[in-house]
């Protein structure tokens, strides 16, 4: 059931992004239908990758999204956006090149395969071990981690989300991480069977995931741009994905995690786009110099931050409870640190944004009133669906604690 919920969440999130980009586009956006076709291509390639077990085809589809993404980032038409688009293309292509090299090594080390499906590869590696296979898995996982935007290949993340329209940022942040994690998870599970050593891909990706979480939290202190604050929220949650990969959680928890990733990033970037367009500026210090601000726009952004970290019916809150449950059951008490770091990140972000409440309230600016009202409707739709998913996850994943007498 959680797998179907993930697919539904993905489709609904894309529909929301697509409708907003067509009927409530970024101010000054041109050639909307051309960019809309590229959005369909981007989502279609990643969505199809969710269903295929062919490891080479999955890599091709994820690589195709890199090209679509680079073009979409450039849709702003500014010199800066072209530079960022090239950075996105080069870093992601480099990382995926490493992943492809790892796949080639695994295919070489395997016995002859009838198909390129992962199960066939797994059977071809049965009874084998050694440095060649471990190197193949390590290269593949590390290469894909660059596409995730984990440290040290995170340099494209901040610029991409800062220079792209909010719909493009939402599209990339929502769908790239879940697609890559779906490609990585079987490899990490396979390595647990053939590589019992401490130095392995699972521990490696957890290590760089923790570095990513700490980096995004520390660098948040220096950020005043609401676009870059939102980018750090997205980066933090991407780092958290590695924890669940390392824990090797059940399929139900895993697919609930993917649904959460899609929906939370959708909310964060939709609300950021509303606030950014209403304020007319990106830096909080500059917004504070203005005479007024729509508190509707501000409260939407604050609500999105709440849902992303501490809102009781948020799917993120449910996952934090699941981490605490695993920590207690498995006696891995260091896991308590992850919800605590999430709370710290939230309070830092809140401290950045909350001073905007001092500005006098007004309605949306007349020039963008229709656009922002449309986005507001879809924000509330996304919020209610996210709360529904969180409530369902709470009653399903933690049922033994809720209904226990």
Greater pLDDT, 387 or 87: 387
| pLDDT at residue 39, rounded to an integer | 92
**Residue 109: which pLDDT band, with cuts at 50, 70 and 90?**
confident
- CA-to-CA distance for 250 and 244, rounded, in angstroms? 10
Q: What is the mean pLDDT of residues 181-204?
A: 85
Contact between 161 and 87 under an 8 Å Cβ cutoff? The reply is: no
**Among 184, 175, 227, 228, which residue's Cα sits nearest to residue 68?**
175
Strand partners, 54: 117
| pLDDT at residue 405, rounded to an integer | 47
Q: How many CB atoms lie within 10 A of CB 404?
A: 7
Helix (H, G, I), strand (E, B) or coil at 225: strand
pLDDT per position as a tens digit, 71-87: 888 877 777 888 888 88
Domain segments of the chain as ranges: 32-248, 249-399
Helix (H, G, I), strand (E, B) or coil at 26: coil
Contact between 150 and 239 under an 8 Å Cβ cutoff? The reply is: yes
Query: Across all residues in the chain, what is the average pLDDT?
Result: 89
pLDDT per position as a tens digit, 275-317: 998 888 888 989 998 888 989 999 999 999 999 999 988 999 9
Model's pTM, two decimal places?
A: 0.94
**Residue 30: which pLDDT band, with cuts at 50, 70 and 90?**
low
Terminal-to-terminal C-alpha distance of the chain = 26
| pLDDT at residue 215, rounded to an integer | 94
Percentages (nearest 5) of helix, strand, coil residues in the chain: 80, 0, 20
pLDDT per position as a tens digit, 330-348: 899 999 999 999 999 999 9
- CA-to-CA distance for 204 and 44, rounded, in angstroms? 31
Q: How many CB atoms lie within 10 A of CB 333?
A: 10
96: region left, alpha or beta (phi > 0 left; psi from -120 to 50 alpha)? alpha
Alpha carbon 296 to its chain's center? 25
| pLDDT at residue 197, rounded to an integer | 74
- CA-to-CA distance for 405 and 401, rounded, in angstroms? 9
- CA-to-CA distance for 246 and 254, rounded, in angstroms? 11
Q: Determine phi and psi for 156, rounding to 5 degrees.
A: -80, -20
Strand partners, 293: 361
Which spans in 110-165 are helix H? 118-124, 131-148, 155-163
| pLDDT at residue 151, rounded to an integer | 87
**Among 398, 234, 205, which residue's Cα sits nearest to residue 309?**
234
- CA distance readout (Å), 67 to 77, 265, 281, 328: 17, 21, 30, 44
Q: Determine phi and psi for 117, rounding to 5 degrees.
A: -70, 155
Q: Determine phi and psi for 361, rounding to 5 degrees.
A: -80, 145
| pLDDT at residue 263, rounded to an integer | 96
Output b/e per residue, 371-400; b: 16+ Cβ within 10 A.
bbeebbebbeebbebbbebbebbbeebeee
Output b/e per residue, 287-308; b: 16+ Cβ within 10 A.
beeeeebbbbbbebbbbbbbbb
Residue 50, pLDDT above cutoff 60: yes
Helix (H, G, I), strand (E, B) or coil at 213: helix
Residue 64, pLDDT above cutoff 60: yes
Contacts for 400 with CB less than 8 Å, ≥ 6 apart:
none
Q: How many CB atoms lie within 10 A of CB 30?
A: 9
């Amino acid at each position: 059931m959680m797998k179907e919920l993930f697919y539904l969440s993905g489709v609904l999130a894309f529909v929301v992004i697509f409708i907003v980009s067509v009927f409530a586009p970024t101010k000054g956006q041109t050639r909307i239908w051309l960019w809309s076709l590229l959005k369909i291509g981007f989502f279609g390639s990643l969505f199809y990758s969710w269903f295929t077990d062919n490891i080479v085809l999955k890599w091709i589809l994820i690589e195709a999204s890199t090209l679509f993404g680079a073009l979409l980032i450039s849709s702003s038409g500014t010199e800066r956006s072209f530079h960022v688009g090239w950075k996105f293309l080069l870093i992601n292509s480099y990382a995926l090149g490493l992943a492809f090299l790892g796949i080639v090594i695994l295919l070489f080390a395997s016995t002859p395969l009838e198909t390129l499906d992962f199960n066939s590869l797994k059977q071809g590696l049965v009874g084998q071990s050694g440095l060649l296979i471990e190197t193949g898995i390590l290269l593949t996982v590390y290469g894909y981690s660059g596409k995730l935007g984990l440290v040290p290949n995170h340099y494209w993340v901040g610029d991409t989300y800062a220079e792209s329209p909010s719909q493009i940022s939402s599209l990339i942040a929502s769908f790239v991480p879940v697609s890559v994690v779906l490609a990585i998870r079987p490899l990490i599970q396979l390595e647990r069977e053939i590589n019992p050593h401490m130095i392995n891909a699972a521990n490696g990706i957890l290590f760089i995931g923790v570095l990513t979480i700490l980096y995004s939290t520390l660098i948040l202190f220096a950020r005043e741009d609401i676009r870059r604050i939102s980018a750090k929220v997205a980066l933090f949650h991407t780092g958290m994905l590695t924890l669940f990969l390392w824990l090797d959680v059940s399929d139900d928890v895993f697919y609930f995690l993917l649904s959460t990733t899609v929906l939370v990033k959708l909310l964060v970037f939709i609300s950021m786009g509303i606030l950014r367009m209403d304020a007319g500026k990106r830096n909080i210090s500059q917004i504070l110099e203005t005479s007024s601000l729509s508190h509707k726009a501000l409260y939407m952004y604050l609500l999105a931050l709440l849902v992303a970290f501490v809102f009781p019916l948020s799917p993120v809150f449910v996952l934090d409870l699941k981490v605490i449950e695993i920590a207690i059951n498995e006696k891995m008490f260091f896991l308590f640190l992850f919800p605590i770091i999430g709370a710290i990140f939230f309070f830092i972000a809140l401290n950045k944004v909350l001073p905007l409440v001092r500005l006098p309230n007004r309605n949306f600016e007349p020039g963008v009133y229709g656009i922002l009202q449309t986005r507001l409707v879809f924000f509330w739709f996304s919020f209610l669906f996210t709360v529904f998913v969180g409530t369902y996850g709470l009653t399903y994943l933690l049922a033994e604690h809720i209904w226990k007498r």
